[in-house]
Amino acid sequence: MTPSRLLGRAAAIAVVAAGFLAPAVPALAHVEVEAQPARALVTEAAVTFTGEAESQTAGIAEVRVVLPEGIAPGDVTLARAPQGWTLTATADGYTVGGPALDSGEDAVHTITVRQLPNAPQLVFKTVETYGDGRVDRWIELPQNGATPEHPAPVLALAPAAPGATPLPLTASASGPAPDASPQATPSPSPHSPQATPSPSSASSAPASGGGGGGSPAVPLAVAAAIVVVAAAGARWWRRSRGSAGR
């Protein structure tokens, strides 16, 4: 057999072997996201997540999504989900879940977003929890152009339509907007006019009189002193008269 025929036969055997071995390697599941319409600043967009089931022994029971900047949890409502699943807002996104699905069944749910942000793409970090407690975290971003093992779902958006403007975010569980933080109310200073005296300080303050507000003991003391001086003067005058008569 010539060398060329030997090489051809070896290549054929390698292809057949690869065909037998390929099904034995399980495909890596992931979460996909798409939107209708997928355009920046579009309102009432339908965003659909498809979480591919990876376990053959348990079904997906909950999907947690971290919303990208520009989408508040209060701007999201549940449009479609598996039977019995409900949406609960979180500080940074939402969870949707309910009775565990059948093993091997993909978890598909759709949310309605009040308005998509003005960005070329949106990253939705997603965590899947199975009925047996297994957790798959699809939260990794590409590093140096390499595809991560557990990539976060990314939604590409077309540029915004001319004249489209962003709407204000809805107040939600994520907290107040950056410019709407409550300001602390300072407590009144003990020396400020608004300060209310304590009962102890009020009881120790002198009682005020009418008019000038001085104490009535002052004029009484002055009158008594005048009387004493006048009496002493009269006594001296009588003594000096008596001495002159002798």
pLDDT digits (tens, 9 = 90+) for 186-220: 333 333 333 333 333 333 333 333 333 444 444 44
Give the alpha-carbon dihedral of 96, 102, 106, 108, to 10 degrees: -40
User: In this predicted structure, what is the pLDDT of residue 83?
Assistant: 97
* Residue pair 86/145 in contact by the 8 Å Cβ criterion: no
Domains, the chain, ordered by start: 28-161 (2.60.40.2230)
How sure is the predictor about 169, in pLDDT bands with cuts at 50, 70 and 90?
confident
Categorize the per-residue pLDDT at 236 as very low, low, confident or very high, splitting at 50, 70 and 90: very low
What distance in Å separates the CA atoms of residue 176 and residue 169, rounded to the nearest whole number?
A: 10
Q: How confident is the model at residue 145 (pLDDT cuts 50, 70, 90)?
A: confident
Residue 131, helix vs strand vs coil: coil
User: In the structure, what pLDDT confidence band is assigned to residue 170 with cuts at 50, 70 and 90?
Assistant: confident
**Which of 67, 85, 89 lies closest to 77, judged by CA?**
89
- The length of the chain in residues reads 246
- The proportion of the chain whose per-residue pLDDT surpasses 90, expressed as a percent, equals 53
* Locus of tokens 């410019």: 179
Segments of the chain assigned E as strands: 31-36, 43-51, 60-66, 76-80, 86-89, 93-97, 107-115, 121-123, 125-130, 135-138, 154-156
Q: What proportion of the chain, given as a percentage, has pLDDT over 70? A: 57
Q: Tell which wins on pLDDT, 28 or 210.
A: 28
pLDDT value for 239: 54
Mean of all residue pLDDT scores within the chain: 73
pTM to 2 decimals? 0.60
Q: State the Cα–Cα distance between residues 56 and 29, nearest whole angstrom.
A: 12
pLDDT of residue 143: 86
For residues 71-80, average pLDDT: 97
Which tokens hold the place of 35? 């939107």
By three-state DSSP, how is residue 137 classified?
Answer: strand
Tokens representing 59? Answer: 């079904």
Which tens digits make up the pLDDT trace of 103-131? 999 999 999 999 999 999 999 999 999 99
